[in-house]
Amino acid sequence: MDPLSLVVGGVLLAAGYLGGRLGARRASRTRAPQLPVATCGCGHSLSQHDPKDHTCHAEVPRDAFNWAGHRAGQTWVDCRCRQYVGPRPIDEVFAPRLLAPPD
Ligand SMILES: [Zn+2]
Ligand SMILES: [Zn+2]
């Protein structure tokens, strides 16, 4: 193998390596568009809620106190959200009339 082809191969390898590095840096700078996330009233996404009993499985920070009653950092407790699924405004459209029709 002649030295010229070795040099050309090395240059092509270096060019490909640098091109890949620059392309990766440019791709990380332009972020992909974020998908919309359906959030509950508690601020956590609906994917963190149990589909059966609607309890939230996320954790929220809560102030912790020591034996003297002074604030001592935070503890993480379960979110107490129950994902309210009561009457929605769309239900009012289909609600029966409260008054008898006038005639
Ligand atoms: Zn919730
Ligand atoms: Zn929650």
State the pLDDT confidence band at 61, using cuts at 50, 70 and 90.
very high
The answer to whether 45 and 37 have CB atoms below 8 angstroms apart is yes
Among the bound ligands, the one closest to the CA of 54: 1
State the pLDDT confidence band at 64, using cuts at 50, 70 and 90.
very high
Among the bound ligands, the one closest to the CA of 38: 1
At residue 91, does pLDDT exceed 70?
no
> What gap in Å lies between CA 19 and CA 23, rounded to an integer?
6
| Per-chain residues with Cβ under 5 A from ion ligand 1 | 40, 42, 56, 81, 83
pTM given for the model: 0.44
Q: How far is the CA of 40 from the centre of ligand 2 (A)?
A: 7
Comparing CA positions, the residue from 89, 92, 81 lying closest to residue 44 is 81
> What gap in Å lies between CA 57 and CA 11, rounded to an integer?
55
Among the bound ligands, the one closest to the CA of 59: 2
At residue 86, does pLDDT exceed 80?
no
If 0-12 CB within 10 Å is exposed, 13-18 middle and 19+ buried, where does residue 88 land? exposed
Higher pLDDT, 87 or 70: 70
| Per-chain residues with Cβ under 5 A from ion ligand 2 | 42, 44, 56, 58, 79, 81
* Model confidence pLDDT, tens digit, residues 18-49: 777 877 776 666 778 888 888 888 989 888 99
Sign of the alpha-carbon torsion through 50, 54, 58, 59: negative
Question: What percent of the chain has pLDDT above 70?
Answer: 82
